Structure 1
Amino acid sequence: MLEEEYETRRQLPLHLRPQPEPETPFEWVIRPATEADLPDIREIYNHYVRNSTVTFDEKAIGLSELKRKFAHIQRLGMPYLVAVNPRGQILGYAYVYPWKEKAAYRYTVENSIYLGPASTGKGLGKALMEEMLVASKAAGIKEIIAVIADKGAEASIQMHKNFGFKEIGHMGKVGYKFDRWLGTVLMQKSLK
């Protein structure tokens, strides 16, 4: 008797074989960020600093710098959201920040959304964008600008288009990272 035939006949019937654990659904809750979330937010962001061109930052952000930025956003009453799984782990975050510091720009912001590497491609970016737009409108924001890398961020550009952002410009070769020149795509959405 061949070894393969013996192995085939020795197997238990399907209903008696151990079944793999069912895959855990990818679940999250979106809530306002707190200062306690900042170490996890920093880790997500610094992953992109080290490994991608979606941010033009080249040095990892420190916790004290992130705390200052977070406090500024809080003082302005602008949204800063996190998505957490049922165990409380931060999966991603979204916030808006003043487009420019001059007073005339006070109703215009730039948005940012970052997901943990294991959280991409599962609808979380879309959910954070939705919540961020609602919270931004509630905060009195009228215009949102997205500044997106022109290489390596095609999914972000498409998501912004899906939410009604219009391309308003392109700046070529304004950033230099990983030994190459990069540009940005500018997109805008009105919340009126």
Structure 2
Amino acid sequence: MTAPIIRETVDADLPVITAIYADEVLHGTATFELDPPDAAEMASRVAAVRGLDLPWLTAEVDGVVVGYAYLAPFRLRPAYRYCVELSVYLAPEARGRGIGRLLMEALIARARAMGLRHLIGVIGDSANAGSIALHKATGFREAGVWRETGWKFERWIDVVLMQLDLTPDGRPPGSEGLRL
């Protein structure tokens, strides 16, 4: 395997991004969606993120898209304009190979460069040890657990909140934040 390439997402990536997300919707707990969105809906989601000047990145190995990650507003009120949610999705065969970490590190660097204050990880399923460990390895700390808030696969599932403080000293913002 050659080294993964982390790059901006392009329209040609949408079919694979849609398939990666559909697999997680149908078989995983990283999302609480129950019906996979189609390519048009995924394109709309990418456009919405880009419309806020936030990154949507793709991971590629040997010319094959194996994952993607993006930043999105944590909440749509102006007071939250310095806080974004980070999401990472990988094809099953790409997991455990360090690709998720590369995507996360690229997004963390982008968030810092944008003058943002906090990154929030919203992890479906407190049993998702891999995602929790990845967040911790990149500097996130646990911020709380919403117990049994999602019903999927005929069971209640927790949501683990993790937070990375980009300016832990609390200094004033260095930018205008997101345009919400």
TM-score, structure 2 normalization: 0.88
User: What secondary structure, in the 3-state scheme, does the structure 2 residue paired with 1:74 have?
Assistant: helix
User: Higher relative contact order by CA 8 Å / sep ≥ 6: 1 or 2?
Assistant: 2
**Structure 1: where are the runs of 5+ without partners?**
1-24
Any idea what the Cα deviations from partners look like across 1:17-43, whole Å, max 9, x if unmatched? xxxxxxxx2531110112221111110
Task: Describe how 1:84-123 pairs up with structure 2 within 5 A.
Answer: 84-86=60-62, 88-123=63-98
User: What secondary structure, in the 3-state scheme, does the structure 2 residue paired with 1:50 have?
Assistant: helix
Question: 156, 179, 186: which is aligned to 2:131?
Answer: 156
Once the two structures are TM-superposed, the CA of residue 139 in structure 1 deviates from its matched residue by 2.5
Partner of 1:41: 17
Question: 32, 46, 55: which is aligned to 1:79?
Answer: 55
Any idea what the Cα deviations from partners look like across 1:42-91, whole Å, max 9, x if unmatched? 100110111111211110011222111111111111111111123x2101
Which structure is higher in helix share?
Answer: 1
Partner of 2:176: none
Q: Which amino acid aligns with 1:160?
A: H
Partner of 1:140: 115
Any idea what the Cα deviations from partners look like across 1:116-175, whole Å, max 9, x if unmatched? 111111111111111111112222322111111234411100111111111111111110
**Structure 2: where are the runs of 5+ without partners?**
168-180
The count of aligned residue pairs is 167
Q: Which amino acid aligns with 1:107?
A: Y
Partner of 1:187: 162
Distance 2:28 2:126 in 1: 10
Q: Which amino acid aligns with 1:92?
A: G
Q: Which amino acid aligns with 1:155?
A: G
1:69 and 2:45 matched:
yes
Is the 2:140–2:162 contact (alpha carbons within 8 Å) kept by the matching residues of 1? Answer: yes
Distance 1:37 1:29 in 2: 13
Distance 1:53 1:26 in 2: 29
Distance 1:167 1:146 in 2: 9
User: What secondary structure, in the 3-state scheme, does the structure 2 residue paired with 1:82 have?
Assistant: strand
Identical columns (%): 39
Is the 1:52–1:152 contact (alpha carbons within 8 Å) kept by the matching residues of 2? Answer: no
